[in-house]
Amino acid sequence: MPVTYRGQPHVLYAVRDITERKVAADAVRMREQQYRSIFDGSADAMVLWNSAIRFVDVNHAYTQMYGFTREEVIGTTLDGRCSW
């Protein structure tokens, strides 16, 4: 942003060091990849629900065991959709 200071043109800029934030974001991304590998690689059917008991995620074993696609299940509740 150009500004005038004591009659002379100057450029004003602000800098913020985001190194710590980027390191933290990378660590979260790595944990997510690790979680995803374990979750998807499990031979057991696995489900994640939110506090409203809606499906947030299911793994491949779940879709094979119950015959639903992931897209059919995500966002639904246990209203007879499962054969448990």
Q: What is the mean pLDDT of the chain?
A: 90
**Residue 84 predicted with pLDDT over 50:** no
The answer to whether the predicted template modeling score (pTM) of the entire model surpasses 0.85 is no
For residue 7, what are the CA distances in angstroms to 2, 3, 11, 44? 12, 9, 13, 72
Token reading at 62: 């779940």
Residues 6+ apart with CB under 8 A from 63: 69, 70, 73
| The pLDDT of residue 44 | 97
Report which of residues 27 and 77 the model is more confident about. 27
Q: Kindly indicate the confidence band of residue 78, based on its pLDDT and cuts at 50, 70 and 90.
A: confident
DSSP 81: -
Q: Rounded to the nearest 5°, which phi and psi values hold at 58?
A: -135, 155
